[in-house]
Structure formats: structure tokens, C-alpha cells
Amino acid sequence: MSVQQVIITDCDHEDIEIESRVLNEAIVPFVLKQCKTEDDVIREGQGAAVFLNQYAPITDRVMKSLPALKLVVRYGVGVNNVDLVAATRHGVQICNVPDYGTNEVADHALALMLSMTRKISRMTNEVRKGNWNYQTSIPIFRHSEQTVGVIGVGRIGTSFANKVNALGCKVIGYDPRISEKSNRSIPSYMELVELDELLSVSDVVSIHCPLDHARNLIDEAELRKMKPTSYLINVSRGGIINETALDKALSEKWIAGAAVDVAEVEPLPIDSPLLRHHNFFCTPHMAWYSEQAAQELKRKVAEEAVRFLRGEAVHYPVNQIKK
């Protein structure tokens, strides 16, 4: 393996001990930067063949200015900060780590679902106020008689579906990508339906699809199709739900509640109108996190870089580069 420099463009983790171990063992020189802008990346990235990248923008201008760059590995699943079209044009391989937090994200969606449907947070607040009366939780419905709609039946969507199926819920799914990939299959217990049907019959709708081609997928028209007793969950990407429409839906009681782990702008502004709703719940983009998942992510990012530099096939290509 020829010596090529790896640059960690940015990283807000406590340390890079795991990446360092993998790269040092492979005798790959590297350096950590904290780039925030295009100019930062261009200035700090000169001569590097590989970027390990968290949030720093990898744009057409960046790649045009860095002809030595051949690989970008994202810390995580999403590649929203990378211009994939430009990357392919410039011959830059983009990779991610799609499988490091599958169970964690699915578990988080399940936790949000149970907290809403069993009204855990709401009733805890009532108890804190001295109100020891279950009747203020009415109505609560039996899970085995509920329908859960899963938007996006990939790794995480399927993991979530398996968990709610174990509760006895009827599970339906919507995923237009399945028909495009012959090797994709769905669980035998799940029925695939069109989005309009999923929204209109589901008691819980949980979003597990990428932002690509799904921005504002859930807008005012879609929210109006949902039941007034239904709940909406998004642990995927901010921007899939139109937040203005969601505020209106909660204000006018089109749905019973919503819980998200992501927002159009992160962090969610403290003056967001969504935060005034007692039936809106938000966690700070943490669904992916467990100690084990965090360690796995860091290891796999570094291992992907080593594979590429050794001339081996990468495990998680996002775009297709002509050889």
C-alpha cells in the first residue's frame, strides 16, 4: 500500500482513539482537523487522498480544488453534506456506514412510540403536579389491535417493524425503492401499500427513509390523511416532515401527537412553535447512539479507508465510480 494521507476533516467525538488504532496498525498517516466551511476543507485538505468526514461540506468546489482526493467516508448513514453528483463526476468514491446503529435507531423509534401510545411522559408530568389519576390518559389503545405504518423498509425500518410485530401490531409498509432492487424482500407479516393508504389506516406512522427524494414527503396534505388518534415518528432525517405543516396539524388536532429525533434545522430552535405542544416530543439526534454503536462507527470508518488505500473493494459505496 502506497503512503497516502488521510485527513479527518472534522469530528465532535470525545477522541479518535479507535480510528487512530486502525490507521496506525495499517501504517496510514493521518491528521485530525476541525473544518467547518468549504474554505477550511480546501485549505486543510491539500494533498490528501482520503477524507474521514462528519459535517464539513464536501461540495463541487471542494473536490475541484482537491484533485488528489479519491475517497470520502462519512461518519454515519446520511450523506447530505456531500454533493454526490459532483463526486461521481470528479471520480471521488463516497462511502458511508449504514449498519452501525440499526438496532439503536429502531429501538429509539419503538421507545418514542411506546412513550406516546402509553402516554408515559404526559402522565409522568401529571404525577409531578400531584394528579394521581389514570383517567387523564384516556384513551389508550391495545397494541395488538393497532396498525403501524413503516415508511422505508430498509435495515432500520425492517428492524423497527420486527419489534412492533412482536407486540402484536399489524404492520404495513411503503417503500418505492423495493421494486427497483430485485434482491430486496420484505417480512412475510408485512403488506406493502401506497403512501396514501398507509397514512389513512395507520395508528402509528414511523419514518425510516433517506432524505433523498423525500423532502416534505409528509406535508399538510399527507397529515390531513392521518387519523386524529394517530401518532407520527421520525428518526430518519429532518426535512422529511414539513415542520410548519406539523405545527398546524398539532394545533388543529389532525393527529394525536408526534415524536422526532431530527429537525429541519439542528439544533431545533428553542423558539420553535413545535415545542409549545404538549404532545410533541423531541430528542437531540441521538437515536443512533449507544456506546457499542459509537465504537463500531469509528472502527468501520477507518477500516473502509484502509481497504480503499490497499486497493481492496470498499464495503459501503454510495456512488458508482468508473474504473
Active centre residues (catalytic): 237, 266, 285
CA distance 118 to 74: 37
Residue 108: which H helix or E strand, with range? helix 102-117
Nearest of 175, 201, 202 to residue 187 by alpha carbon: 175
What CA dihedral angle connects 269, 275, 281 and 285, to 10 degrees? Answer: 0
Question: Which of 96, 100, 13 has its CA nearest to residue 52?
Answer: 96
Phi then psi dihedrals of residue 149, to 5 deg: -100, 130
Strands 50-53 and 257-260: unpaired
The reply to whether omega before 139 is within 30° of 0 (cis) is yes
The secondary structure of residue 193, as a DSSP letter, is -
Residue among 244, 246, 226 nearest 234 (CA): 246
Residue 177 amino acid letter: R
Q: How far apart are CA 95 and CA 103, in angstroms?
A: 21
Q: Which residues pair with 6 in a beta bridge?
A: 30, 50
Phi-psi region of 213 (alpha: psi -120 to 50; beta: other; left: phi over 0): left
Among all chains, which residue has been given the C-alpha cell 402509528?
204
The CA–CA distances, whole Å, from 293 to 151, 235, 242 equal: 23, 16, 29
Tell me which H or E stretch contains 106. helix 102-117
Which helix or strand (DSSP H or E) is residue 52 part of? strand 50-53
